[in-house]
Structure 1
Amino acid sequence: MSLADILDPFKSWHLPFSQWVQDVLTWVVTNYRPLFQTLKWPFDKLLTAFNLGLNGIPPLVTIVFVGLVAWQIAGWRLALQVAGLLVVVGLLGIWGETMTTLSLVFTAVVFCMIVGIPLGVIAGRSERAAAIYRPILDTMQTIPSFVYLVPVVMLFGIGNVPGVIVTIIFALPPVIRLTALGIRQVPEEVVEAMRAFGATNNQLLFKAQLPLALPSILAGVNQTLMMSLSMVVVASMIAVGGLGQMVLRGIGRLDVGLAATGGIGIVILAVILDRLTQAAMSRRRQFGHVAWYRRGPASVFTTMLRPYSPSATQDWKAAGAELLSQNKGNDYERPA
């Protein structure tokens, strides 16, 4: 053995890690690929439902509906902004692609919430679980997003459903981490007081920990939304449709206009979803004492349905007070 070999032993000694991974993946694909094909069923059904719903509704109806929802949860100023951005999407000629991307994001976020919030609750209430989750979540967040594509394609194939699965894997860690953080930040005095009054673990969770951790959970959902949108272009490499496919085609053809149009659509979606989720958190703190049907468009509709009700005057007063408070500034930008 030469001096060079002694000083650099890694030239001849190294772990065949890549071969191990390839062998394990090949074994899984050979023996369990039909099982993974079966697991696509719930993702496929939910994605199809979102896609048919969003693409089947006329654009004008969608704009009005989303505007009313934005008014209800965020105020009329943001509702006008959201409606205007959706009009821009229609004028750019990318309405269908935008709705397809939105259905992919919604499907991924729904499954991230179904899986991530319970795991976050477990991690927040158990130090052992948190210690187990931490290296796994660190790995999921630091591995480049392109690495996820190879095993997912080998197990699930290509198309929109594998794209949703890749997006779920990529966007899952924030909702787990922030849910666990919110549970751990519940004041110990509250927990001790409820236990002193005989509260069970379920009562403690649903009546104290989850309500107090809700802002942190919503922040995790917001981050999951943003990460899902950031994965759209990467997922288009495995034949996922929508705006990401437009960007990929534009890059492949060196068509700057096509790529820029798809990119603007993704930015508009990100702005709409981010503003709505941020405003929902802010308004929950500001108007948490006002019933949902006594503010926004819901107050107008409920008052019209009950014009002679004794509470009609109170509803109108609540709606008026809300409008006055909104005229002083954007609700979603004001601290609690």
Structure 2
Amino acid sequence: AVIIIYSFIAWKAGGYKLGIATFTGLLFLASSGIWPETMLSVYLCGIAVIISFLAGSALGIWAAKNNTVSAILRPINDTLQTMPLFVILIPFVMIFKIGEFTALLAIIAYAIVPAIRYTEHGLRNLPSGVIEAAKMMGCTDRQMLWSVKIPLALPVMMLGLNQTIMFGIAMLVIAALVGTNGLEQTVYIGLSDGNFGVGLIAGMGLAIIAMIADRMTQSWSLRRQNKYGISAD
């Protein structure tokens, strides 16, 4: 049932080809015997991505409206994005010890960066003519943000969601070091034991998840761009 639901969502987002590809990929994961680990990875990464995207979008909106906030967030984002992934784990392990919660916080800390940057970029680079027209029509600041700016910036923000998912999956693999139980842990076990087959299957599982998420968000973003006749560049 879960496979059918995900395939249907993919079909609605990107057409029947993406739906078929999603169904095939998930069916491979189920038939390979790694479905429980796949779901654990999806749930952990999914929760982290949702939190990262919501918090990052809020910070991006704030940064787009306030140059001081933007100047403060920029070096923080640069530091988080250039810091080795292993290093990000250290402060969370020191405070919360090992466990799923520590992994969740580490993923959020790393994956929030693209959400902030893409949201700020999208809001700062809107067509000036549209903004001026909205002002002439008497839009309040709240109406301007929610009815004009965010709908126009949404394709760019969705690209930020795409990158947030990719960053989250990248950090998920490293988070196996702090005791997660999903596919990332299976990859780590295969690496530790020198078991090529186990590591390969689990790695393919993570790659399939990443590709499905990537195609779904890109397809949805492209549809929004075509609908409004705007570009995400």
TM-score range (shorter-chain normalised) is over 0.9
| Counterpart residue number, 1:196 | 136
What does residue range 126-165 of structure 1 map to in structure 2 within 5 Å? 126-165=66-105
CA distance, structure 2, for counterparts of residue 284 and residue 133 of structure 1:
28
Deviation at 1:78, TM superposition (A): 1.1
RMSD: 1.6
| Counterpart residue number, 1:256 | 196
| Counterpart residue number, 2:108 | 168
CA distance, structure 1, for counterparts of residue 227 and residue 11 of structure 2:
14
2:38 to 98, 103, 108: 98
1:84 and 1:287, CA in 2 relative to 1: closer, same or farther beyond 3 A? farther
Mapped contact 1:153–1:162 kept (Cα < 8 A): yes
What does residue range 75-90 of structure 1 map to in structure 2 within 5 Å? 75-90=15-30
What does residue range 287-302 of structure 1 map to in structure 2 within 5 Å? none
Deviation at 1:240, TM superposition (A): 1.0
Identity of aligned residues (%): 37
CA distance, structure 2, for counterparts of residue 280 and residue 154 of structure 1:
40
Amino acid at match of 1:211: P
Q: TM-score, normalised by structure 2?
A: 0.94
1:104 and 1:288, CA in 2 relative to 1: closer, same or farther beyond 3 A? same
Amino acid at match of 2:181: G
CA distance, structure 2, for counterparts of residue 170 and residue 261 of structure 1:
26
Q: Work out whether 1:177 is the aligned partner of 2:111.
A: no
Deviation at 1:283, TM superposition (A): 2.4
Deviations 1:14-35 (A, max 9, x none): xxxxxxxxxxxxxxxxxxxxxx
| Counterpart residue number, 1:29 | none
Q: Work out whether 1:279 is the aligned partner of 2:219.
A: yes
Give the number of the structure whose alpha-carbon radius of gyration is greater: 1
1:162 and 1:141, CA in 2 relative to 1: closer, same or farther beyond 3 A? same
Amino acid at match of 1:263: G
Q: Work out whether 1:213 is the aligned partner of 2:149.
A: no
Aligned length: 230
Mapped contact 1:232–1:243 kept (Cα < 8 A): no
Mapped contact 2:99–2:180 kept (Cα < 8 A): yes
| Counterpart residue number, 1:110 | 50
Q: Give the structure, 1 or 2, with the largest relative contact order (CA under 8 Å, sep 6 or more).
A: 2
1:192 and 1:220, CA in 2 relative to 1: closer, same or farther beyond 3 A? same
Deviation at 1:286, TM superposition (A): 4.0
Secondary structure in structure 1 of the residue aligned to 2:98: coil
CA distance, structure 1, for counterparts of residue 133 and residue 7 of structure 2:
43
Deviation at 1:287, TM superposition (A): 5.5
| Counterpart residue number, 1:328 | none
Mapped contact 2:40–2:181 kept (Cα < 8 A): yes
Which stretches of structure 1, 4 residues or longer, exceed 3 Å deviation after superposition?
A: 285-289
2:183 to 243, 246, 254: 243
Deviations 1:62-108 (A, max 9, x none): 11111211222211121111000011111211101111000011101
Mapped contact 1:67–1:80 kept (Cα < 8 A): yes
CA distance, structure 1, for counterparts of residue 102 and residue 61 of structure 2:
27
1:265 and 1:156, CA in 2 relative to 1: closer, same or farther beyond 3 A? same
2:61 to 121, 139, 144: 121
1:265 to 185, 193, 205: 205
